[in-house]
Every structure is written in structure tokens, then in C-alpha cells.
Chains A and B, each alone.
Chain A
């Protein structure tokens, strides 16, 4: 058996998956699984102690990532992955806390938490799978849905402005901001790896097809058509000004690393302030333990 094990090649991502839960619930042509491949490769390439990597998700299609990744994983409530992650990180600073969730979860119901975590510069890594729609609930308008798109709650087309996620997150204070699509599997894996090396609030927007509820309803083809569209219209512009990277229904997609800057994170700031004020009375904790 051991000889066979040595000879049988293994899919390198499977070590990070709960294989007893595969096949997953995502639709044919959905890109969330593809992003998980990039994430698994980032875990391999980052050469970190993966026991310390904890995944926190909210609710939605991407919220299910926590259930498929074989790490300590927390599938929380709608929009609240970031405050959960904040508590997890502050109580146990050795953890590498990754929030993996969708655009509706992170920017609508969870938008306030996101901007405050970025403002505080809590050391958490946020991967936002942006499929431009509420998918799990049946294709309703999201704060990311571009104009002139048919959704189940804008049956005559969307008309209100969408968030430009990198611009918003940079303004709120993130130290690392990038955007890729699930077509850019290698670049995405590299960005995730960079995010692990970064201290502070880091954010990657990942555009991903929702063939079932976005593309099909808008006669934009299937998942593969969307991947080809990403390939065709994406322009890599590292260092682009985030105010220029807003998305439209069929226009250019600017991808790349937009922000990579240094700023003390929440724990460092707290530590410095308390030490300055309290001197010897300050008791620093590396990890809380209720033992």
C-alpha cells in the first residue's frame, strides 16, 4: 500500500479540502471552487504553519468555503464574518485569520464591519468573491451589480450606482488591495501568498462567474463564456489608482495589485498606546487562555 501511495499522484489541493464533503454545492461553471485552488496553492507556497490558518465565512455561496476547506473554519452569520474574525485574531494573535466571503455578505449587510476593520487595520486577510449578484438567494441585486443588468429584484434593469470595491477599501485604510478574476489563477495564488506575508487589513477582490443567476439572466453565456470574457477584457495594471478601476457590465476589467503599503496594525497600535500610558502595569498577552 505504501508503495502505491508513493506512486499515486495526489491532487495537491486535496490536503486542504474536506474531501468527505466533495462534491460541493456550487453550480457548473461557478468560479468559487477555482478560487479555492488558488488559495490552496497559496497555502503551499506561503510556507506558513497551516495549523494556524483559520477561515471565517459569512453566508452565501462563498460563505460555504469555510465548510470545504480543511482548516479551523467558522461559518458565521450573514455579514458578520469580519467582526467574528476580529475577535478571533485579537484573542489569539498567532492565528492567521482569513475571511472568505461574497460581495453581498461583505459589502451590503456587512459593509459597516468591513470599513471599520480596515480603518482599525485589524490583521485579517479578506478574500471577496465578487459574482456581482446575490446568488444563494436567487439572483437579487447586490451593491456590486453594475448598471443595466437584469436581476430578480431589478427585473427592468439596475440603475443605481455600484460600489468600486478597491476604491472603498483603500479609502477605509487597507494596507493591501488587489483585484483578480478566477481566470487569473496563478496571479491570484501569488496575491494570496503575498497577503499571508502582509500584516494588517488585506483585501483581494476576485471576480467570478455566476452562470446560473447573473450571466444566464443577462444572456451573457455560461461560466466558460465568462472566463473567456475575463481573459479578453482584463488589463493588468499594477499600481493603478483605485478610483479608476470601477467595473461596468461589459467594459474593461482592471486587475492587479493596487495598494501595498505599511501601516501599524491594530494590535501594534494598541500595544504601543497601552505601554506608553501604563508602563510596567501593562500586561501584554500573546494568547488568551481560559485554562
Chain B
């Protein structure tokens, strides 16, 4: 099991690519799917490599991603609090 994971609020992402570029263990990639604003958002292409260091969160200018150490929350509840749930698309369900 990976040491960490990330959470992504897809609708906040503007696809700058900072998180993908500067992830020290190369966990992330930009997906081919779009969010509602038309940006290709990141997803975990190598979730097993995630250390939960949150460097992605430090880089994200849109407060759209952050990393955390495991244990992970139950998957169906993993979305973060705001904005309303309808706007939140879990990366591993929709963003790929």
C-alpha cells in the first residue's frame, strides 16, 4: 500500500501542470478528460508511488490538489468539503 495519496478538486484545476512536473515520485499525469472549464486535470498514474508529501499541494496555485499520508479515507467519502458535492468529481472516477 502507498504511503500517501492525493485529493483533487477537479473543478478548481486550471491544468498548469505544476503538480505533475514537480511531484518528486512522478505520481501524477494530466488526463485526457476535461473538467467543466475545459482543462485537462491531473490524476494518479502511479498511486503506489505517492509518499503523501504534499509538494503538489504546495505548488498548486488553485488550491485544487493536496497530498496526505495514509491511512486513506473510505473512497466514497474522499471528496473534500467545498464547493458543493455536485461540482466535485473524484479523479479516479471521472477524470481519466
Interface of A toward B, CB cutoff 8 Å:
4, 7-14, 17, 19-20, 22-24, 26-34, 36-38, 41, 182-183, 185-186, 189, 222-224, 227-228
Compute how far the CA of A22 lies from the CA of B68 in the bound complex, rounded to whole angstroms.
21
Q: Which residues of B contact A24 (CB under 8 A)?
A: 62
Compute how far the CA of A17 lies from the CA of B54 in the bound complex, rounded to whole angstroms.
17
Closest to A6 in B: B73
Interface contacts (Cβ under 8 Å), in number, total 98
Let me know if B16 and A11 touch, CB within 8 A.
Answer: no
Residue from A7, A20, A33, A41 in contact with B61 in the complex, judged by beta carbons closer than 8 Å: A33
Task: Classify the interface of chain A: helix, strand, loop or mixed.
Answer: helix
Closest to B16 in A: A29
Let me know if A11 and B58 touch, CB within 8 A.
Answer: no
Chain B residues within 8 Å of chain A by Cβ, number: 30
Interface of B toward A, CB cutoff 8 Å:
7, 11-12, 14-18, 21-22, 39, 54-55, 57-63, 66, 68, 73-74, 77-78, 80-83
Let me know if A185 and B80 touch, CB within 8 A.
Answer: no
Let me know if B78 and A185 touch, CB within 8 A.
Answer: no
Compute how far the CA of A12 lies from the CA of B18 in the bound complex, rounded to whole angstroms.
19
Closest to A14 in B: B63
Residue from B7, B57, B81 in contact with A37 in the complex, judged by beta carbons closer than 8 Å: B57
